[in-house]
Structure 1
Amino acid sequence: MIRDQETLTMLLDSVSRFVREQLIPLEDEVAETDQVPDRVVAQMRELGLFGLAIPEAYGGLELTMEEEVLFAFAIAKTSPAFRSLIGTNNGIGSQGIVIDGTEAQKRKYLPRLASGEIIGSFALTEPGSGSDAASLRTSAVRDGDHYVLNGTKRFITNAPEASIFTVMARTDPQARGGHAISAFIVEKETPGLSLGKIDKKMGQQGAHTCDVVFEDCRVPAENLIGGREGVGFKTAMKVLDKGRLHIAAVSVGVAERMLDDALRYAMERQQFGQPIAEFQLIQAMLADSKAEIYAARCMVLDAAQRRDAGQDVSTEASCCKLFATEMCGRVADRAVQIHGGAGYVSDYAIERFYRDVRLFRIYEGTTQIQQLVIARNMIKEAGG
């Protein structure tokens, strides 16, 4: 749902100009230094990018899902590291509070997340639980007015920069499955919380992940999201449904950038006395990529509109995440092939994008998990 087309157009124009004039020229620097410059972070704050999906009542822009995916199409035309920095504040790092938080929790944290004063992070994955998130072992034991957390979270996006963490922990150590999991807001300065070394990754330099370790970490009971035990896993799944649509949209935007680069190269590169874009086998790769991007864009917009209309889009979100991220990987592979040997060296952006986009098929639920979600939902619906 688009609420105000004129205002949205102004936002998207500003974002596209920011990407074109500020971010794309910095891609190589970010890749080499593994750091987004402070001046860029400040510009993102000024543009309101940290609060896009946070309600207006708490200082955000409160974009609808359709508006958010249109934004994602635009911001994803550059290195994913830039989007990743603001992504958790608008997605998994804030939405647990937005969706299920108490009014006191919303007032305390959402305005600071919306302004970019603080960075939020989402701590679900553990060394022994990734796709099987319901088997997590981090524990939270009630002790008076506090909960004592113990456990380790792994591959936590923006953890090195985060000021608060949405942490999933087991409040009933005897129970199995997701119904014994609760969600907590844990501030970085809380005694007993420590960070591991920053992970060295295949790609996405400038976007940081690391372990988050809890050792007798005492968290005030008032930081239990929603004030209720045992509903944290449901909160996490609701957050991930939204996040999957967002990542699908990002995959579309990055694929469009890679295809633009591949087309430009194919029109400039000469072989056998003519641009390689004139060769039919090159044209086939360009055409297949264009068609798949178009299909993914339509899927994402349709699912976003359904979510805005209040429909349950668990199946559609997984369909989008599965198709768009796999599509993005295929486009990356074709773009490298079109570039030939040049695509394998870092002189061209496609070498970096090829590594960067590989992650899309893994986080927010792997492709295989999306297949399971889709099939199980189909079976459930068919069974009445």
Structure 2
Amino acid sequence: MLPRTLFNSDHDEFRRMVRRFIEQEISPHHERWEEQQHIDREVWNRAGELGLLCMTIPEEYGGLGVDRTYSTVLMEEQSYAGATGPGFAVHSDIVANYIYNFGTEAQKQEWLPKMASGEAVGAVAMTEPGTGSDLQSITARAVKEGDEYVINGSKIFITNGYLSDIVVVVVKTGDSGVGANDLSLVLVETSREGFSKARPLKKVGMKAQDTCELYFDNVRVPCSNLLGEQEGLGFKQLMKELAWERLIIAILSVATAQGAFDTTLAYTQDRKVFGKSVATYQNTRFKLAEMKTEIAVGQQFVDRCIELMLRGELSQEAAAAAKLWTSELVCRVVDEGVQLHGGYGYMLEYPIAKAWIDSRAGRIYGGTNEIMKEIIARGF
């Protein structure tokens, strides 16, 4: 298939280091993490020691100052290995970006070095129990009292929520009647009185990734915790980062599809039926050929989107299309992989079965695929 042109020898060396980290520090513990529904806190510190957190943040704030192709490598290697537990992408490529792009110098100095080292785990709290993808309808509110905000409400489906130390919370700060103008982003330290976390939610898949509900009961934070120069900028801030967030889902999806293809190819080559390997049958070869072709098409589109993103030219429509196509693609690929595994494809000790249940969420989070179609259609 077509060669990839995004990476150079430095990326290749970095990829080898990431692969060793996953093989030694993540894969041996992943099954246990699935049982406890979150990864061990120490893994965050180890990732920080190796420079794997907040890599795109400038060195003055503890990062490496590299571009997002390095984040791409880390996300791909996690996906190839089926390591869905560590929420590194949310922490490093979403939460840290909000703080770096919209925070004050004091906020950056306070949190980014801690996030880069793994001392502090970051989460972003958007979704509420009754709102789903409709961010403009959120009810969590921050009311100003003197030099403090008093926050009340709840958030659900929060990745890294259970282990979080700092949360970027989407709250309503105005009553203009225009939802987009009433939202703000506020930093909330999880040690604040009135802040609480529920146990990790019992999900169908991605069980090692801590995902929980957060509660705010008269949580008081200083007004200096507001992200941005004034209230009401939250929706615009979210929109500026959403294209990259959706591209992250596309990167993870196509890499998961590639990992599923690789494990399926290996299984069919080794498994024998009626005296010969499953891979020698025409139906198997044709199915594998279809899978490989679809993945190649998806990979080229995602790589092109990454190139545009690096130049600051990635549109919301293109990011939505990438998320839509690849999250549907990975579900087709893993489902075919399960079928080619036969009965063993339904057994959780086989990577294809875990990929099958883990990948389904990609069509929901980051905005459902129905929302992606709406965004794409606005460009007509």
Aligned counterparts of 2:66 and 2:79: Cα–Cα separation in 1: 17
Q: Is the 8 A contact 2:250 2:326 kept in 1?
A: yes
Matched, 1:49 2:52: yes
**TM-score normalized by structure 2?**
0.93
Q: 1:28 is aligned with what amino acid?
A: E
Residue matched to 2:39? 36
Answering whether residue 63 of structure 2 is matched by residue 60 of structure 1, we say: yes
Aligned counterpart, 2:210: 208
- Partner residue in 2 for 1:326: 328
- Tell me, in whole angstroms, the C-alpha distance in 2 between the residues paired with 1:294 and 1:264: 18
1:21-59 Cα distance to aligned partner (Å, 9 max, x none): 443343333334434245544432222112223222211
Q: Is the 8 A contact 1:68 1:246 kept in 2?
A: no
Distance 2:48 2:178 in 1: 42
Q: Does 1:129 pair with 2:131? A: yes
Shift of 1:372: 0.9
Listed as ranges, the matches of 1:335-350 within 5 Å are 335-350=337-352
Q: How many residues align?
A: 376
Runs of 4 or more above 6 Å deviation: none
Indicate which of 302, 305, 309 corresponds to 1:303: 305
Per the TM alignment, residue 4 of structure 1 is displaced from its structure 2 partner at its CA by: 9.1
Q: How does 1:159-238 map to 2 (within 5 A)?
A: 159-238=161-240
Q: C-alpha displacement at 1:270, in angstroms?
A: 0.9
Which residue does the alignment assign to 1:382?
none
The residue type equivalent to 2:366 in the other structure is E
Are residue 79 (structure 1) and residue 82 (structure 2) matched?
yes
Counterpart amino acid of residue 272 in structure 1: F
Structure 1 residues 330-384: Cα deviation after superposition (integer angstroms, max 9, x where no partner):
11101100101111112312112211111111111111111111111x13xxxxx
Query: Once the 2 structures are TM-superposed, how far is the Cα of residue 250 of structure 1 from its aligned partner?
Result: 1.1
Contact 1:318 1:370 (8 Å CA) reproduced: yes
Counting only pairs closer than 5 Å after superposition, residues 307-318 of structure 1 correspond to structure 2 as 307-318=309-320
C-alpha deviation, 1:313, in angstroms: 2.3
In the alignment, is the contact (CA less than 8 A) between 1:89 and 1:120 conserved in 2? yes
More deviation in 124-133 or 33-42?
Answer: 33-42
Residue 130 of structure 1: SS of its match in structure 2?
A: coil
1:145 is displaced (CA, Å) by 0.4
Residue 21 of structure 2 is aligned to residue 18 of structure 1: yes
**Could you tell me how far 1:9 is from its partner in structure 2?**
2.6
Distance of 2:273 and 2:333 partners within structure 1: 22
2:37–2:207 contact (8 Å) kept in structure 1? yes
RMSD: 1.9
- Checking the alignment, whether the CA contact within 8 Å between 2:339 and 2:345 is kept in structure 1 is yes
- Structure 2: runs of 5+ lacking an equivalent: none
Report the AA paired with residue 368 of structure 2.
T
**More displaced 10-residue stretch of structure 1: 179-188 or 273-282:** 273-282
1:357 is matched with which residue?
A: 359
Tell me which amino acid in the other structure corresponds to 1:43. R
* Bigger mean CA offset, 227-236 vs 332-341: 227-236
Change (3 A) 1:26 1:260: farther
Task: State the identity as a percent.
Answer: 35
Equivalent-residue separation in structure 2 for 1:39 and 1:104 (angstroms)? 27
**1:158: Cα distance to partner?**
0.8
SS in 1 for 2:95: coil
* Aligned-residue offset at 1:229: 0.6
Q: Deviations 1:145-177 (Å, cap 9, x if unpaired)?
A: 011111111111111100011001111134232
Whole-angstrom distance in 1 between the partners of 2:219 and 2:156 = 17
**Aligned partners of 2:120, 2:23: CA distance in 1, in Å?**
26
Q: Structure 1 residue aligned with 2:100, among 91, 98, 101?
A: 98
Q: How many angstroms does 1:300 deviate by? A: 1.4
1:110 aligned counterpart, secondary structure: helix
Residue aligned with 1:127, SS: coil
TM-fit CA distance, 1:232: 0.6
Paired amino acid for 2:75? A
Tell me the secondary structure at the aligned position of residue 178 of structure 2.
Answer: coil
Amino acid at match of 1:110: L
Residues 116-161 of structure 1: CA distance to partner in whole angstroms, max 9, x if unpaired?
A: 1100000000011111111111111111101111111111111110
